[in-house]
Amino acid sequence: MIRTLLIRGMIAGLVAGLIGFGFARAFGEPSVAQAIAFETQHEHAHEHEHADAAAPAAHSHDHGDEELVSRDTQAGLGLLTGVAVFGTALGGLFSLVFAFAYGRLGALHARGTSALLALFGFVSVAIVPFLKYPPNPPAVGNAETIGPRTALFFGMVAISIAAAVFAVHLQRRMAARHGGWNATLIAAAAYIVVIVVAQVALPRIDEVPADFSASLLWNFRLAAIGIQALLWTTLGLVFGALAARELERPAVRRVAAA
């Protein structure tokens, strides 16, 4: 059954990736193009300010930084490949988590379990890290800090996932003593406390140029979180439907036969 669920999860992830690509192409790429134009304009202005001293270096820079992949390819086939691969991999991991959680979250059926896991995933993997380290478009951020920024972002993701797992475990242990509703409130409060402490303790990163368009930055980040919301929603709904066909129809047929 695990193999079947894994295949269905990858299919659901691929569907989610394709839908996410359409959203990214329509709403994310315009912001990326504007950010690249801003960066190019800044570079040209800087070169003009230092034209006399930097003319030879600028000439050699033009020859050394030729695009290996065209912008159209990056925004088309490259974006499609990246989002599709990410969605497929995410769907495979999601199916494994579902296989472990199914039947352990109360009386939820396959669709309910899938939807709940997708909600947990969206909050812990997308929303919480986004609040601390939101994504930035091109022209924002120092190239020398990419490594530390990436490590901090994935560190926030790891803390959020670990806190979510702890909260679920805490809720299950306390449900018998305090009731399901109270146990859920206590577990949610524990998760929030861990996340608040982590976000306060981790260093803050703010490398947005002072003259960068606030509306452009907002539109890019809104598109980024919109892609994540679409990916997780589609994954939860599509995988839930596919998993229900695998897990619940045999039981229905047995009842009908009896």
Domain spans in the chain, listed from the N-terminal domain onward: 1-53+70-140+210-258, 147-207
Instruction: Identify how many contiguous H helices and E strands the chain contains and give both numbers.
Output: 11, 0
User: Quick one: pLDDT at residue 43?
Assistant: 62
Other CB atoms within 10 Å distance of the CB of residue 252: 9
Q: Which of the 8 DSSP states describes residue 239? A: H
User: Quick one: pLDDT at residue 64?
Assistant: 43
Biggest CA-to-CA distance, the chain? 90
Q: pTM (2 decimals)? A: 0.81
pLDDT at 129 over 90: yes
Would you say 256 and 111 are in contact if contact means Cβ atoms under 8 Å apart? no
28-85 pLDDT per residue, tens: 888 888 887 877 776 655 555 555 544 444 444 444 445 566 666 776 788 889 899 9
**Of 197, 235, 206, nearest in space to 19 by CA:** 235
Give the pLDDT mean for 113-120. Answer: 94
User: Quick one: pLDDT at residue 177?
Assistant: 84
Mean predicted lDDT score pLDDT of the chain:
84
What burial class does residue 178 get, using C-beta atoms within 10 Å of its C-beta: 0-12 exposed, 13-18 middle, 19+ buried? Answer: middle
Other CB atoms within 10 Å distance of the CB of residue 235: 30
